[in-house]
Chains A and B, each alone.
Chain A
Amino acid sequence: MSLVTTLLEQCGIQASLAQGDDFQKWLINEAWNKYKDSRMNKRIVIENQVKDLNIKLSNGTVRKDYTASFSLSKDVVTDFWIDGCDQLGLKCDISEENECTISGKPSQPGDFKLKLSYKYDGMIDGEEPLSIELPIAFNPNPRSLWKDIPTDKNVIFYKDDCVCEYVKVEEKEETGPRKDIVAASQRGRSHAQEGKARDDHFKLVHCEDSDWYIIAVADGAGSAKYSRKGSEIACETVVAHCLEKLKDSAAFEEKIRAYKNAEDEETARKQMANIIYDIIGNAAFKAHKAINEASKANENSKPKDFATTLMFAICKKFDFGWFIASYWVGDGAMCLYNEKKGTSKLLGIPDEGEYSGQTRFLTMPEIFKDATAVFERLRFSIEDDFTSLMLMTDGVSDPMFETENNLNDFEKWKEFWNKLKTGFAEDEIGGVDLSDDNEESKTQLLKWLSFWSPGNHDDRTIAILY
């Protein structure tokens, strides 16, 4: 008798020893298989429950703070851990409540998989834990993808990738502090990415003898192959013409005084307009012609290959205030900003099409088709003191103002003026110290121009009389 046959006999079953042995084998095998199935089913149930949680880790950016969290119900999972965090520069914290937080600064870009291993209630010692892969992706920092390829110095009409200048007009006993000009021009990231030249240009002059300020800023069209030369010719030509006209400006200044004191405002204004036309209008026309000449001199090129915008202003301080005259064709912004009075005055209307690329250029014949076309772009006025006169290409005005509406809003100019002074702390770009005679401000301004604005990587140029 064996234990099994005895048990069987108690149930009224007569079995031989061999039958008892065989029955025992059969019974245990049968039960063991059922047991295994049941264990396996439980594993699968739990596995599916975890899968159905659909744990997703958000994408991160290399070297930028990253956090992602999820939690697993204690009813499903009793214990879990994650492998693979260390190699990615991340750490993983799991709380008593089964809340998991993955955080850190991802060290490398790419697609990776973390392994989440877990145990559930009813597992036996030594049983292999379950696991699931969690995909996680880190993008490169978009800024690190921008290349800065220097422009080939042998390229025709080469110009430096960035320039800055300060025109210091020192204070004199009889005048007190006098305004200075600071300007900077920075090649856009889209050009730097491909090693293409800067298309913007500026030119500043203060005539020591007559005390006139002359400032010109131009933006060569991105689509025109020699526009970098076009913008240069435009600035150089208008400044040279104005300087010639203003070197000995006694007669002109008499007219300005007469205009200031005129009783018949309308007649005086018309007379003044004709004089301004001679200086400013002709300067612009001369620049237009100079570009046409340059195009003729250069084989296989048309004037439109030199397409450029242009804005320039002349101004001088008198005992009764400032006289300012200007001309503007194309986009960008030219603004007389007066913080104390709370005014911002746009010196013209930006030529913006429905799309920002559809601007007008100095090189277009219709810009000079008749006198009216020229007069429309001229502005002149007498102003009390002002905070600053700013001229900038659309590389600066687009990201900073976006729309024409904002260009006409004093509050937006105030924000802009403050931004110039405070800089961009989050990008470690300092402000510009616009105090009198601070020559350092030119390098500060150049640095300031490298601010980050997604989708705005055009050349940037700004000139400030302050």
Chain B
Amino acid sequence: MRRLPVYILIDTSTSMRGEPIEAVKGGITSLIESLNQDPYALETVCLSIITYNASAEQIVPLTEVYKFHLPEIIAKGRSALGEALMLLTSKVPEEVHKNTPETKGDWKPLLFILSDGGYSGPIAKPIAEFKKLTFGVVVACAAGEKSHIDVLRKITNDVIQISTIDSTSIKSYFKWISSSISTTSMKIETAGEYDMAIDALPPLPNEIKVLRSTNN
């Protein structure tokens, strides 16, 4: 059976402590609740969560929505974004099934990133490695004004921004992720494919603005 793998990368550094991290947890919980009510998503979507602070950790390996359990998330330390990308780069080929002559592989995975503030550690090589993977859609959300948007731009063209890292903005980002996953899982079912662009996903909520790159 062809699954729709979804990876979510979350910054859990010190700056996320308190209200933001609680909003992330609440956001993921409502995301799971709503996907569990969607017959398309329930059958096809698999979800993985990678968090990164001083180091990166895949706290949930690629798991069917109905089996999903969210472990505790604690915000502390720096933001090893590069290490998170490296971890993702090693997990995707392991977890996402490829086409074989006898079976059809999984759909191209979706990736949603939530990054606040900057990053620590090497970044150029991880981005180069990450670029070798094929994703359907990669959306990076920069939370707060201090975010290093230029780094996120190197990861994907689809960078969006929430200007403050408050509970409402973070929750609306997760709500949007949830409806994007639902839309995509329905599209692959009815059309046998999905559009590889952020424009094909549901419209972004008011709290989120799209940062169009000006040079392409």
Contacts and interface: CB of A to CB of B under 8 A. Distances in A.
Instruction: Indicate, yes or no, whether A interacts with B.
Output: yes
Interface string A283-312: 000000000000000000000000000000
A455 B1 contact: yes
A220 to B, nearest CB: 12
B39 interface: yes
B103 A403 contact: yes
B166 interface: no
Interface in A170-224: 189-190, 193, 222-223
A373 B37 CA distance: 47
29 contacts: A56-B69, A58-B69, A59-B69, A111-B33, A139-B36, A143-B39, A145-B38, A189-B39, A190-B40, A190-B189, A190-B190, A193-B39, A223-B191, A355-B192, A356-B192, A356-B193, A357-B192, A402-B103, A403-B100, A403-B102, A403-B103, A405-B101, A405-B102, A406-B102, A454-B1, A454-B44, A455-B2, A455-B3, A455-B189
Contacts of B43: 142, 454-455
A73 to B, nearest CB: 23
Interface string B85-117: 000000000000001111110000000000000
A61 interface: yes
Interface in A35-75: 56, 58-59, 61
B176 interface: no
B191 A142 contact: no
A140 interface: yes
Contacts of B59: none
Given A222-B192, A406-B102, A457-B189, A140 B37 contact: yes
A154 interface: no
Interface string B163-195: 000000000000000000000001011111100
B66 interface: yes
A403 B101 contact: yes
Contacts of B135: none
Most chain A beta-carbon contacts within 10 A, residue among B39, B102, B104, B188: B39
Interface residues of B, number: 29
B101 A145 contact: no
Contacts of B38: 145
A146 B39 CA distance: 6
B102 to A, nearest CB: 6
Interface string A453-465: 1110110000000
Given A139-B66, A190-B189, A403-B104, A455 B36 contact: no
A453 B189 contact: no
A405 B42 CA distance: 29
A271 interface: no
Nearest to A147: B39
Given A58-B69, A139-B66, A455-B189, 12 more contacts: A59-B69, A143-B39, A189-B39, A190-B189, A356-B192, A356-B193, A358-B193, A402-B103, A403-B100, A403-B101, A454-B43, A458-B189
Contact of B104 (A145, A223, A402): A402
Considering residues B3, B188, B193, which has the most beta carbons from chain A within 10 angstroms of its beta carbon? Answer: B193
B1 A453 contact: yes
B118 to A, nearest CB: 33
Contacts of B104: 402-403
Main secondary structure of the interface of B (DSSP, over half): loop
A402 B39 contact: no
Nearest to A143: B39
B42 A142 contact: yes
Interface of A: 56, 58-59, 61, 109, 111, 139-140, 142-143, 145-146, 189-190, 193, 222-223, 355-358, 402-403, 405-406, 453-455, 457-458
Given A139-B36, A403-B101, A403-B102, A145 B192 contact: no
A56 B33 CA distance: 18
Contacts of B101: 403, 405-406
Given A59-B69, A403-B103, A140 B190 contact: no
B1 A145 contact: no
B42 to A, nearest CB: 4
Nearest to B1: A454
A457 B37 CA distance: 17
Interface string B117-131: 000000000000000
From A56, A193, A355, name the one whose CB has the most chain B CB atoms within 10 angstroms: A355
Contacts of B1: 453-455
Most chain B CB within 10 A, of A109, A222, A402, is at: A402
Contacts of B36: 109, 139-140
Given A59-B68, A139-B36, A402-B102, A355 B193 contact: yes
Contacts of B132: none
Contacts of A146: 39
A99 B56 CA distance: 35
Contacts of A406: 101-102
A58 B1 CA distance: 23
A249 to B, nearest CB: 39
B193 A139 contact: no
A445 to B, nearest CB: 24
A222 B190 contact: yes
A411 to B, nearest CB: 11
A214 to B, nearest CB: 29
Contacts of A223: 191
Contacts of B67: 58-59
Going nearest first, the 8 A-B pairs with the smallest beta carbon separation are A357-B192, A145-B39, A405-B101, A356-B192, A357-B193, A454-B43, A355-B193, A142-B42
A61 B69 CA distance: 14
A405 B68 CA distance: 34
Contacts of A458: 189-190
A61 B36 CA distance: 11
B137 to A, nearest CB: 15
Contacts of B189: 190, 455, 457-458
Nearest to A145: B39
A111 B42 CA distance: 16
> Which of A146, A358, A403, A455 has the most B CB atoms < 10 Å from its CB?
A455
